[in-house]
Chain A
Amino acid sequence: MNTKKPVYPYIPNSVPDVKAEMLRTVGALSMDELYADIPADLRFKGKLNLPDRLHSEAELIRHVDGLLNKNRSTRETLSFLGAGCYQHQVPAVCDEINSRGEFLTAYAGDPYEDHGRFQALFEYESMMAELLNMDVVNVPNYDGFQASATALRMAARITGRSIVLVPVNICADKLSKVKEYLEPDIAIERIPFNPKSGLLDLAVLKTLLSEQIAAVYFENPSYLGLLETQADKISALAHNAGALSVVSVDPISLGVIRPPVEYGADIVCGDIQTLGVHMQYGGGNGGFIASNDDVKTVMEFPSRLFGVAPTIMEGEYGFGDVAYERTSFALREEGKEWVGTAAALWGITAGVYLALMGPQGMVEIGESIMQRCCYAMKKIAAIPNLKVTFNNTPHFNEFVVNFDKGGKTAVEVNQALLDRDIFGGKDLSDEFPALGQSILFCVSEIHSQDDIDRLVSILKEVVK
């Protein structure tokens, strides 16, 4: 026994005497004996080439701060970035709850030891259900991309069909994910949009629909921030062709925007990052999928669905897994897709957020975002040589500004903004060349009038 080895705070039994005693108990002379079944030629020779360890918290903090202090956060710099990750105020109570060790470090306990986890996630499902006006919501899967991809796979299984229709104007990264997830058995065809309004081209949609189409998928608001005013018509067209209407939404919009089920959606999906989860450089996603309480649809969910039931004791709520036999946990490859660790903590967090906001908060935040967005659009549209594309269509939180007439590229505009300590918007020139030199700007409840005016005045200066 090498008594010079350090004792590690995270490894209680690294105490040499304890180790020696335990080795004796198991009848081994050395640690090596415990690895006797690993053949010599598979044994790693020598020591891993890793940086020297930092012994103490003080050294670790100094090191990690040294790295992270090279970042400039949106708390330090005014930002108008959106495009799939959104800056909103995260209430302190959200962080307080999701930092509690009881939730943060729990995992897969049964509904008795983890009654709290089951209740918190049941409540999350239930509050999302009120927002969505639907009866079934899953325990979160990975993210909004996965939610869209799975919703489309569900639609294909439900209809027994194998083509889905997806708009041209969705995020290129999301399309990449969905495509890769639907291979090899589900094909994607694209629905173009009207270049003036930015809304889906219903004439073309009609020609695309057939008895092979499993789903018509669209987003509301769209990736470019537009509200799809023909939503009910799109759902009706889908239904007439025997296809499902699958709609992705930003749940933070639903205090003011009608929930998709009311314009005919069969499956609704999206990302819950906007509901109380920090942006985390794009690391704070969680996916939701919702439907009506129809057996055929429910049985196609891959995710956990937590439900409520009575216990043997009067006045107690018990919780458990609804229709567990659907899942890959129960059936391996015969289950629906797969289920596993995903984003449950963000589900709990989104529940906390919705409880804090309440009905009035959700209405107010939707209104505030729309008003601020509209204000920014108006002010920018008034700048000579700048064009707010799709200006006559209602928007939620994002809008496209075209710089072609201003004689500047999107890269140059964003650089000019950065030089003045502003993170501009998402450069769309590669993603949507048809939109020219354009930037997608995002506005939320945290942007004050002064913030927006500052952006406007700099843009004015830049394209002068």
Chain B
Amino acid sequence: MKPINPKPSPRRYHQASWDEPVIFELSQPGQRGVLLPPVETEIEQEVGNPAQMLPDQLRRTVPPALPEMSQVHVLRHYDRISQENLGVDLNIDIGQGTCTMKYSPKINDQLAHTHKLTELHPLQDFSTVQGILEVMYRLEGMLKEISGMDRFSLQPGAGGAAIYANICMMRAHHASRGEGKQRDEVITTIFSHPSNAAAAKVAGYKVITLYPDSEGYPDLEALKAAVSERTASLLITNPEDTGIFNPKIAEFTRIVHEAGGICSYDQANANGILGITRAREAGFDLCHFNLHKTFSTPHGCGGPGAGASGVTEKLIPFLPVPTTEFDGQKYYLDYNRPKSIGKIRPFYGVTANILRSYAWIMSLGADGLREVAEIAVLNNNYLLKKVLEIRGVSAPYAKGKRRVEQVRYSWEQLTQETGVHSEEIEIRVTDFGMHYWTSHHPFVVPEPMTLEPTESYSKADLDEYVAVLNQISVEAYTNPEIIKTAPHNCTVHQTQQEPFDNPDEWAVTWRAYRRKTGKK
């Protein structure tokens, strides 16, 4: 037997394609997926027919038209469509810059699946939940150290909710000083996450968005022009979504403070700076971490994530209730906080992710966290060097400078020379079993691509991703049609886009689809 030749690069990927029907089409009348404990005869005799307990107008007359399926058929359906999905576990998931797609350790999932967590009711007596309260208290302590802030709330459900919680605390702070009405503007930057602008608008603020200077830094002069006695807050990310660290950040916070504003730090991009630089030293009053980004909890197809809102001393009174406290002997939740902004969500936070984050930090320690940051930055700068060798791509701004944990690239040259757009590259990348994302809108960087290689990927992984981008660049110059007609190797082919924006055609549910298409 001859030796088998090595596999070619890039790999010849094809996604699973089960041709799986929509679940309603799998229904077989009479089948059951699970059964319930039968109601005891004595209970039935005592209370009678449940239908009689309800007045006619509250009684459902036709059972919901759900599919009827045996257990194994439900399992098989979902297992099949799960194979038609890519997660961090499967792919070199460096294409979703700003979102820190890192490895979520399996041991932490296992730890979070114990009934000692999953089967706890949030209103149990404190004496029966000392373990989880201690985990919450300890994680808060760790985040305080990592950020330099004085206290944290682990309640927000994800990053957007944490941003909003911080805005509410800022609003309450100004109101407590009688400046609530006067301070009606917030300042953010275009390279900060859109939720900063959007959440501030919900909270009633006028949003001023700063654009970068010619080198890509948040424009200090523009900030000076924007601040006034109306400034409530600066909501800013650093490094921004370009991966550029703003070295004047302390001046930004000083200027806003001098105008009486509060500075709130969106630490979505904290992965490259753990143990390197902190919110406190940069002068922030508020900050938040996304535990599902920096602290490794899985992204769950879009949540549950977890947000952690940090505050300095003067904002502690406004923290959401309850806070987690320790009196030297026992842990408890404190609701008696009269200046609190109140609740951000039910109960205390996404506890499974709080536990996972705690376990992740415990597995790494201070040196490990620093290693995370350093390797994330090393990976990013390595990737930068390699990507810039690809024809048609550039890294606008901050020429010759290092980037922190991600880079917003531009395919502008490639588009001009080949007519291939970043959105088309996004789809073509899926043909190689990888993920790629352009960037948040608006596309200030033309034809953008945002890569964040985190610490979870090996040099070989990065080389493989670069090889795919390189191949697509070659295709753009030699055979753009293959990009324009992608995907070729995925579960499905190009989907018609018009129905999604046409109210006569769009179908958010199977019943709407059947109604609008006349399908039986």
Contact = CB atoms under 8 A, between A and B. Distances in A.
Interface in B415-454: 426-427, 430, 433-435, 437, 440-442
Given A68-B131, A307-B506, A308-B507, A12 B47 contact: no
Interface stretch (B254-262, B309-317, B367-375, B467-475): B367-375
B219 interface: no
Interface in B70-111: 71, 74-75, 77-79, 81-91, 93, 96, 99, 101-105, 107, 109, 111
A387 B80 CA distance: 53
B490 A115 contact: yes
B492 interface: yes
Contacts of A10: 102-103, 105, 296, 363-364, 372, 455-456
A331 B442 CA distance: 8
Contacts of A370: 50, 53-54
B96 A108 contact: yes
A345 to B, nearest CB: 3
Interface stretch (A130-138, A200-208, A400-408): A130-138
A418 B125 contact: yes
A53 interface: yes
Given A136-B512, A311-B492, A360 B68 contact: yes
Given A104-B87, A280-B351, A356-B74, A322 B378 contact: no
Contacts of A340: 158-160, 195
Contact of A103 (B82, B103, B115, B204): B82
B450 to A, nearest CB: 11
Interface in A335-372: 335, 337-346, 348, 351-352, 354-368, 370-372
Given A119-B20, A281-B120, A352-B74, A309 B500 contact: yes
Most chain-A CB neighbours within 10 Å: which of B84, B274, B281, B487? B84
A454 interface: no
A48 B371 CA distance: 12
Interface stretch (B3-11, B30-38, B221-229, B406-414): B30-38
A322 B81 contact: no
A177 B103 CA distance: 33
A103 B85 contact: yes
Interface in A256-296: 256-259, 263, 271, 278-286, 293, 295
Contacts, number: 727
B51 to A, nearest CB: 8
A287 to B, nearest CB: 9
- The 5 tightest CB contacts between A and B, nearest first, are A282-B347, A318-B495, A53-B365, A282-B122, A356-B33
A174 to B, nearest CB: 7
B119 A75 contact: yes
B346 A39 contact: no
20 contacts: A10-B372, A12-B457, A23-B378, A48-B274, A102-B89, A106-B301, A122-B508, A129-B511, A129-B512, A135-B508, A143-B346, A220-B58, A258-B61, A279-B121, A329-B194, A356-B34, A374-B47, A375-B43, A418-B125, A446-B37
Interface string A117-158: 101111101111111010111011011111000000100000
A341 B303 contact: yes
Interface residues of A, number: 218
B160 A49 contact: no
Contact of A26 (B199, B385, B494, B507): B385
Contacts of B171: 183
A342 B442 CA distance: 23
A71 B47 contact: no
Nearest to A227: B58
Interface string B155-167: 0011111001000
A26 B389 CA distance: 13
B168 interface: yes
Given A26-B378, A49-B145, A283-B352, A316 B135 contact: no
Interface stretch (A30-38, A161-169, A209-217): A30-38
A325 B501 CA distance: 9
A330 B55 CA distance: 46
B202 interface: yes
A446 to B, nearest CB: 7
Contacts of B440: 329
B390 interface: no
Nearest to B46: A375
A351 B24 CA distance: 12
A283 B85 contact: no
Interface string A385-427: 0000000001000000000000000000010001000010010
Nearest to A323: B501
Nearest to B135: A67
Interface in B177-205: 194-195, 197-204
Contact of B31 (A115, A315, A358): A358
A109 B351 CA distance: 26
